[in-house]
Amino acid sequence: MIGGSCVIGAVVWHVRRRPLGKATPATLSADTPAESVQEPPEQNQTGREAILRKRYQPKALLSDWERRALLAFRAQIPAGHYVCPQVRLAELVSIVVDPRRFPEALNRVAGKSLDFVVIELATGRPVLAIELDDRSHQQRQRQDRDRFVNDLMEALNIPLRRFTPSMTLDVSGHFAPGPSARQVLARPAR
């Protein structure tokens, strides 16, 4: 019975806070005159922003190593390609399963991301996935995740390169010499 009295108390508190003579969204009907609708005061917006600022703080999208790696990869990627950081696996796949299995399939990819994906600008298709493996990749749970990512990239036919901090960040050998970005982007669509 305690739960019921809490609900009643919350309703009484809410009703007492409502200004008299003005309609609130909960009391609106189709024939409520527009003049009687009270707009939320500006301070409510400011209050909401203050709460959001307390809950969420901005942070860098990339770590120092990821930022340095991005600069190195950008210098090596040929014209007509683009390096995308922090790409969710769910953005790389179309999930084609029985609707009852969809939540499970989505959960396998929704919370995981790749450090970088190189796309071909002319098509938007991924041509290379890149993972930076720091110490966290030595943990058993992370190794299970890495095996899944490896298997998925192989199934999607997207080459995956993994780098550890001691390795030279070199992907230039992956790209064959080809036309310039102007030539690729100037081609008529088929």
Cα 105 to the center of its chain, rounded Å? 17
- The SS3 assignment for 189 reads coil
For residues 156 and 102, give the distance between their C-alpha atoms in angstroms, rounded to a whole number.
Answer: 18
SS (H, E, C) 22-49: CECHHHCCCCCCHHHECCCCHHHHHHHH
By CB atoms closer than 10 A (0-12, 13-18, 19+), residue 46 is: exposed
Beginning with the edge strand found earlier in the chain, give each strand of the sheet holding 126-132 in spatial order. Answer: 81-88, 113-120, 126-132, 160-163
Nearest to 122 by CA among 92, 175, 81, 91: 81
How does pLDDT run across 21-44, given as a tens digit for each residue? Answer: 444 444 444 555 555 555 455 555
Q: Is residue 30 within 8 Å of 21, Cβ to Cβ?
A: no
pLDDT in the model for residue 111: 87
For residues 178 and 190, give the distance between their C-alpha atoms in angstroms, rounded to a whole number.
Answer: 19
pLDDT in the model for residue 70: 96
Intervals of the chain under pLDDT 70:
1-45, 177-190
Distances (CA, A) of 117 to 45, 59, 163: 38, 21, 14
Residue given tokens 């390096």 in the structure block? 83
The residues near 79 (Cβ < 8 Å, ≥ 6 apart) are: 180, 181, 182, 184
pLDDT in the model for residue 134: 80
DSSP 122-175: TT--EEEEEEE--GGGGSHHHHHHHHHHHHHHHHHT--EEEE-TTS----GGGS
